């Protein structure tokens, strides 16, 4: 960020020169304000983009949590068949 420089007051009684000096200082300050506003808008946009990405990522993760895979594998089917044919707790 650039430094704001105020023009030192002129000791001479030339009022016109003092007014011009103050106008120059005011223009410089005004330009700094504009630059800061633009930087702030850019950062606000980046924040909004990041928040949108985060909400999208959370949405995908939430959908993944809601969707559980209930399909059985071959091994799962064999285990369930074994449990059905030989129930636990019964002595053979």
Q: What is the CA radius of gyration of the chain?
A: 36
pLDDT for the residue 66: 67
Q: What is the mean pLDDT of the chain?
A: 82
The model's pLDDT over 32-59, given as tens digits with 9 standing for 90+, comes to 999 999 999 999 999 999 999 988 888 7
Task: Indicate the burial class of 57 (C-beta count within 10 angstroms; 0-12, 13-18, 19 or more).
Answer: exposed
pLDDT for the residue 32: 95
62 in helix, strand or coil? helix
pLDDT for the residue 76: 85
pLDDT for the residue 75: 85
pLDDT for the residue 88: 79
Question: Domain limits of the chain?
Answer: 36-84
pLDDT for the residue 78: 87
The alpha carbon of 4 is separated from its chain's Cα centroid by a whole number of angstroms, namely 30
């Amino acid at each position: 960020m650039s430094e704001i420089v105020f023009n030192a007051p002129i000791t001479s009684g030339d009022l016109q020169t003092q007014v011009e000096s103050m106008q120059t200082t005011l223009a410089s300050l005004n330009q700094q304000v504009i630059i800061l506003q633009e930087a702030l808008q850019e950062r606000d946009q980046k924040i909004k983009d990041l928040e949108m990405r985060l909400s999208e990522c959370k949405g995908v993760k939430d959908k993944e949590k809601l969707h559980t895979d209930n399909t059985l594998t071959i091994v799962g089917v064999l285990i369930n068949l074994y449990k059905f044919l030989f129930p636990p707790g019964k002595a053979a």
